[in-house]
């Protein structure tokens, strides 16, 4: 998300294309990011909602008081900052429709590459009659909440997806429609005799933890670390469904900035390697460093990565031993020992 799109979001208020909300009004801000500036006269109290832990922390550092999930109803309006995930954008609009009172304002902003124009057309087809204006390389779209919101909510709410009949996901989560190929490759190389305490870094909706528990039934405990609050909630459900007797703990955490408090015998991970649309190996490098710090002496890291990403020098910097387990046309599984 560019800083320009934040300005796009508030532009209709700044020009008074829509009324400026007063101090007695309450607005939701879904997908909020740090760096926004309310225009003069925008006095509404904001409930700032951000599910992604690194951005949540940036909001805290900018003196906001963010929350990870929405609570409350009868808001006077909502602001929605679009992401690159179509299903997540739609789900945010459905959430706003559930929370904002009839006649309230919903204001949405996004860049063209984030699908804001098709989203506007979709809202029009749903009978919401949106207005819009382009500004700062983005588009602001807004409409008033109708008295009957049921059809729009049903159409826009992210549907539960079941993978292999046992993993629950939804749109907006990483690899929500199928098991990620890299994770599948790593799962095929998980140990079969592990009986210690493991950490799953960037656990997503819990696939690798489930597979480790199946590969090594004597696993003592798995701690799952994930930056997406929604993904972590799905991981809780998937571990409870697939391995109800396994001892698990769940941590909503930015591993690049918030170290683990315990030491582990094994860390498994499929680290993210994109920031927006660009490959960003520094994310994986930071997670490798976090894995090293989280391991006991003699503990092991097992990870999968896009085969073109240069993680071997990072492993060599931190670990006394490292190597490659296997690779295919797209991915490689790497190991390291502290």
Q: How many CB atoms lie within 10 A of CB 289?
A: 16
Both 183 and 315 in one domain: the answer is: yes
Q: Looking at residue 280, what is its pLDDT?
A: 64
Radius of gyration of the chain (CA): 22
Same structural domain, 152 and 168: no
Which tokens hold the place of 84? 């690159």
Q: Is the domain of 116 the same as that of 238? A: no
DSSP class of 52: B
CA angle 264, 270, 273 (to 5 degrees): 125
Strand blocks (E) in the chain: 26-30, 45-49, 75-81, 100-111, 131-135, 138-144, 160-163, 167-170, 197-201, 221-226, 247-252, 264-269, 274-275, 278-279, 295-306, 321-327, 331-337
DSSP reduced 3-state for 115: coil
Q: Are 298 and 316 within one domain?
A: yes
Q: Are 212 and 190 in contact (CB under 8 A)?
A: yes
278-279 and 131-135 strand pairing:
unpaired
Q: Token pair of 328, please?
A: 């295919």
Whether 131 and 178 map to the same domain: the answer is no
pLDDT digits (tens, 9 = 90+) for 217-260: 999 999 999 999 999 999 999 999 999 999 999 999 999 999 99
For the stretch 245-304, pLDDT in tens is 999 999 999 999 999 999 999 999 999 875 544 456 788 999 999 999 999 999 999 999
Residue-number span of the structural domain to which 170 is assigned? 160-337
Report strand pairing: 131-135 vs 160-163: unpaired
Residue 290's pLDDT is: 97
State phi, psi for 12 to the nearest 5 degrees: -60, -25
Band (122; pLDDT cuts 50, 70, 90): very high
- Predicted local confidence at residue 172, as pLDDT: 86
- Check residue 277 and give its pLDDT: 42
Same domain, 74 and 186: no
The CA angle 35-252-290, to the nearest 5 degrees, is: 90
Which has the closest alpha carbon to 165: 242, 88, 236?
Answer: 242
Q: Are residues 251 and 320 in the same domain?
A: yes
* Collapsed DSSP state (helix, strand, coil) of residue 96: helix
Residue 2's pLDDT is: 58
CA distance 300 to 291: 9
Final residue before a domain boundary, out of 132, 156, 180: 156
The CATH number linked to 222 is 3.40.50.150
Domain boundary among 122, 156, 190: 156
**Co-location of 19 and 52 in the same domain:** yes
Residue whose C-alpha is closest to residue 178's, from 156, 204, 155: 204
- Neighbouring C-beta atoms of residue 30, cutoff 10 Å: 25
With the C-alpha atoms ordered 297, 300, 303, 307, is the resulting torsion angle positive or negative?
Answer: positive
Q: Are residues 13 and 75 in the same domain?
A: yes
Q: What does DSSP assign to residue 228?
A: B
Q: Please state the pTM of the whole predicted model.
A: 0.93
Q: Which two tokens stand for residue 299?
A: 């503990």
Domain count across the chain: 2
Distance CA 314, CA 317 (A): 5
Q: Are 145 and 97 in contact (CB under 8 A)?
A: yes
pLDDT range class, residue 132, cuts 50, 70, 90:
very high
Shared-domain flag, residues 96 and 108: yes
Inter-axis angle of helices 86-99 and 116-125, nearest 10: 50
Residues in the chain: 338
Closest CA to 8 of 119, 104, 132, 103: 132
Per-residue pLDDT averaged across 110-121, rounded?
A: 94
**Last residue of a domain, which of 110, 138, 156?**
156
Q: Encode pLDDT of 149-184 as tens digits.
A: 999 999 999 999 999 999 999 988 998 989 999 999
Same domain as 315, residue 172: yes
| Residue-wise pLDDT tens digits, 180-203 | 999 999 999 999 999 999 999 999
Q: Quick one: 139 and 252 in the same domain?
A: no
């Amino acid at each position: 998300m560019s800083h320009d799109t934040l300005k796009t979001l508030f532009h209709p208020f700044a020009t008074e294309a829509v009324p400026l909300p007063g101090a007695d009004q309450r607005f939701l801000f879904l997908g909020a990011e740090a760096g926004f500036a309310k225009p003069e006269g925008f006095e509404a109290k904001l409930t700032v909602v951000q599910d992604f832990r690194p951005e949540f922390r940036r909001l805290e550092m900018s003196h906001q008081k963010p929350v990870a999930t929405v609570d409350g109803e009868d808001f006077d309006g909502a602001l929605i900052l679009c992401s690159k995930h179509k299903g997540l954008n739609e789900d945010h609009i459905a959430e706003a429709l559930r929370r904002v009172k009839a006649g309230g304002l919903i204001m949405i902003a996004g860049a063209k590459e984030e699908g804001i124009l098709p989203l506007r057309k979709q809202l029009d087809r749903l009978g919401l009659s949106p207005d819009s204006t382009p500004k700062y390389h983005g588009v602001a779209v807004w409409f008033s909440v109708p008295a009957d919101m049921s059809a729009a909510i049903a159409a826009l709410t992210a549907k539960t997806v079941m993978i292999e009949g046992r993993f629950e996901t939804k749109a907006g989560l990483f690899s929500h429609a199928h098991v990620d190929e890299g994770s599948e490759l790593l799962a095929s190389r998980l140990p079969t005799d592990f009986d210690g305490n493991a950490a799953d870094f960037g656990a997503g909706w819990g696939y690798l933890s489930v597979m480790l528990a199946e590969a090594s039934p004597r696993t003592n405990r798995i701690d799952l670390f994930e930056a997406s609050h929604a993904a972590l909630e799905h991981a809780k459900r998937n571990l409870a469904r697939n391995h109800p007797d396994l001892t698990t703990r769940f941590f909503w955490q930015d591993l690049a900035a918030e170290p683990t408090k315990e030491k582990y015998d094994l860390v498994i991970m499929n680290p993210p390697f994109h920031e927006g649309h660009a490959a960003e190996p520094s994310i994986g490098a930071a997670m490798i460093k976090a894995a090293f710090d989280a391991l006991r002496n003699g503990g092991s890291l097992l990870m999968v990565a896009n085969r073109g990403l240069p993680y071997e020098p990072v492993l060599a910097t931190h670990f006394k031993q490292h190597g490659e387990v296997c690779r295919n046309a797209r991915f490689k599984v790497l190991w390291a020992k502290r």
